[in-house]
């Protein structure tokens, strides 16, 4: 027996308007998130814009990126 969705603004029986619902209505299909590495660096890595440098960038990332670039 097929169950009817009691919530008009949801595709997966949620009581709220989901991001999935919004994207499916806008594009007509399932949308996926893709992670891309653009090779960009943190503009505040050296601490000139704010005190202490960037909180979210690990200093090890630069060393790993350089090591990978040398392998290519």
Specify burial of residue 66 (Cβ count, 10 A radius: 0-12, 13-18, 19+): exposed
pLDDT of the residue at 28: 93
Domain boundaries, the chain: 1-34, 37-72
The whole-model pTM stands at 0.42
pLDDT tens sequence across 17-40 = 888 888 888 999 988 888 877 777
pLDDT digits (tens, 9 = 90+) for 36-65: 777 776 666 666 776 666 666 665 555 666
Of residues 47 and 6, the one with the higher pLDDT is: 6
Query: What integer pLDDT is reported at residue 29 of this predicted model?
Result: 92
DSSP-derived secondary structure letter, 58? -
Q: What is the pLDDT of residue 54?
A: 66
């Amino acid at each position: 027996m097929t169950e009817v969705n009691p919530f008009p603004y949801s595709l997966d029986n949620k009581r709220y308007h989901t991001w999935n619902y919004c994207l499916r209505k806008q594009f007509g299909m399932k949308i996926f998130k893709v992670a891309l590495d653009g090779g960009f660096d943190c503009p505040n890595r050296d601490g000139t814009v704010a005190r202490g440098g960037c909180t979210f960038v690990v200093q090890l990332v630069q060393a790993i990126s350089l090591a990978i670039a040398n392998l290519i």
